[in-house]
Each structure stands twice: as structure tokens, then as C-alpha cells.
Amino acid sequence: MESPIKIGMLDSGVGGFSVLREIVKALPGHPVHYVADNAWCPYGNKPPRDIRARVLRIADYLIEKGCGIIVVACNSATIHGVEMLRATYPLPFVGMEPAVKPAAEMTETGIVGVLATEASIAGEKFHRLITAHANGVRVITRPCPRFVELVEGGVLDGPEAETAIRAEVMPLLDQGADVLVLGCTHYPFLRPVMEALVPSGVSIVDTGCAVTRRVIRLLGTDALTFPNGDRSPALTIETTGDLDHVTRLMPLLLPNLGRPAAVQHVDLLNGEANS
């Protein structure tokens, strides 16, 4: 049997696990190679040029490792890098798109709040998305770097998480937002606490499932093969940062993996330094 198309995934850190968990659920046994760029985390405060250099480096590596589809499981990297990646390589790239379109259809107050990184909010692609899909709806934005710190620190609930969520979300609700878009892949890990804190009429939307559906469409019949061979684990997770950091977070962020995962450290320096 021919090998299935390996899925490559990348994020600044463990945020893309919120997409990975959906992919693993939908495609059990399908080979996935995930790179968490913890040595450069966060991306949200980096200039677009630096974000592009990182995604190019990681995409190169994932292609070298045999990936045939790459999920850019990071909104900041998608906004600043996915068009460049598509123009550079002949394979499909699936990016994250903040769920502005569904949110604009759902809102009753006509006000949508988008929580995303500073880099994403400043991105031209993000503004194009609003122009294209938020017709007649007011979109208010809020960068939440603290949320990334909390998730990378394994703090998904408790007083610290609640205080941070209140501080970011309440100003959006005070301005009338009744739909909140989670425009960063780290944020869905705080969703349960967020849901408990917001009034019942407020909806929260994210993009993990939509991205998974897109991956399944691109895989076509390949998505139906689950050859989790005996020799290599179907899921490889690598970090450019501290291996213990990611290993510690695995049971918390990916509790129902249901398959073996190899977690390793990888050095991926920019450009020639690594060649």
C-alpha cells in the first residue's frame, strides 16, 4: 500500500495543539509531524519579516521530512506567511482564518469581538478578511499576549486564568460584542473558563474544526487510510525549545491522544546557519 500523505503542522508553540487534537480525532492513525517553535515563541510581538523567516525555515524542514500538506496552525504565521509559502512551494498549505465570517452571520448586536495576537491584528490579510466578510458589522479587536503565556505555562483555569480572561473579554462585551472570535490557536485552551465567565447570550467561535474539514477534503481518499505502521509512530511532535516544557504540557493539552507520540527537540536555526 502506498504511504499516506503526511500532514505537517507548525505553530510558535503548543497553541496549534488545539488544531492537532481535532485532526487526530478525525484522522486517527494518520501520520502527522508537528513543529512547535518554542525557541521563537511568541510570534505575536514579532515583526512580520521575522515570522516569515521562521515559517519558511520550518516549512522547509517539514517538506524535507516528507510532509505533503502543511497546516499553518497559527493565525499570526498564516496572516503574515501563508501567501509567501504558497508562492514558494508546490504543496497545499492550510492556514488559520479567524472566524469573522461566521461571527458576522451570528451576531445580533452587530458587534463582533476578535481576540488575536498583535501581529495578526496588524496584518493586512486580517483587514482584507474584515472588509470581505464583516459587511455592516462592527469588528473590535483585542490582543491577548497573556493568554499565550498562560497556555504555554499550562495554566488553563483557576484565579490567574480567570483574571486574565476577564481583563481582556469584558471590555469587548462592554462595547456590545455578542460574538467572540478566538483568532489565535492558543486561546481555545482557555475556552471552557471563558464560557463560564461570559453571559449566556455571548457566543464563542474558533476555527479548529473548519481547518480539519479542509485537511480532510485535501487528503481525499488518502484520509481513509489509517496505516499506523508498526515501525514509526504516526505522530511526531518536535520543539525548537525546551523538550521538558512540551513533554509536561502533553497530558494537559492532548489528554485523549489514543496513540503513541514521539516528542523530540529539534534545532532549526534561520537560514544558512543551520545548513
Among residues 41, 67, 74, 144, the one annotated as catalytic is 74
Applying CB under 6 A, among 117, 207, 236, 239 the residue interacting with ligand DGL is 117
Among residues 41, 67, 144, 184, the one annotated as catalytic is 184
Which triple of cell numbers denotes residue 115?
A: 481576540
Applying CB under 6 A, among 38, 76, 107, 239 the residue interacting with ligand DGL is 76
Applying CB under 6 A, among 38, 75, 107, 236 the residue interacting with ligand DGL is 75
CB 62 within 8 A of CB 40: no
The CA distance from 180 to 109, in Å, is 12
As a residue count, the chain comes to 275
Residue 43 C-beta: closest distance to ligand DGL, Å: 4
Question: Is residue 44 a contact point for ligand DGL (CB under 6 A)?
Answer: yes
Applying CB under 6 A, among 20, 100, 186, 210 the residue interacting with ligand DGL is 186
The CA distance from 141 to 151, in Å, is 20
Pairing of strands 261-265, 235-239: parallel
Query: Residues with Cβ < 8 Å from 190, sequence gap 6 or more?
Result: 147, 150, 151, 156, 161, 165
Laid out side by side, the sheet with 6-11 consists of 93-95, 67-72, 6-11, 32-36, 235-239, 261-265
Residue 106 C-beta: closest distance to ligand DGL, Å: 21
Question: Is residue 38 a contact point for ligand DGL (CB under 6 A)?
Answer: no
The owner of cell 493565525 is 75
Q: Which is nearer to ligand DGL, 39 or 223 (CB)?
A: 39
Q: What is Dmax (Cα atoms) for the chain?
A: 57
Question: Is residue 12 a contact point for ligand DGL (CB under 6 A)?
Answer: yes
Question: Is residue 141 a contact point for ligand DGL (CB under 6 A)?
Answer: no
Question: Is residue 207 a contact point for ligand DGL (CB under 6 A)?
Answer: no
Partnered with residue 67 across adjacent β-strands are 6
Partnered with residue 181 across adjacent β-strands are 114, 205
Segment interacting with ligand DGL (CB under 6 A) among 70-78, 134-142, 202-210, 219-227: 70-78
Residues near ligand DGL, by CB under 6 A: 11-12, 15, 41-44, 74-76, 117, 120, 148, 184-186
Report the catalytic residues: 74, 184
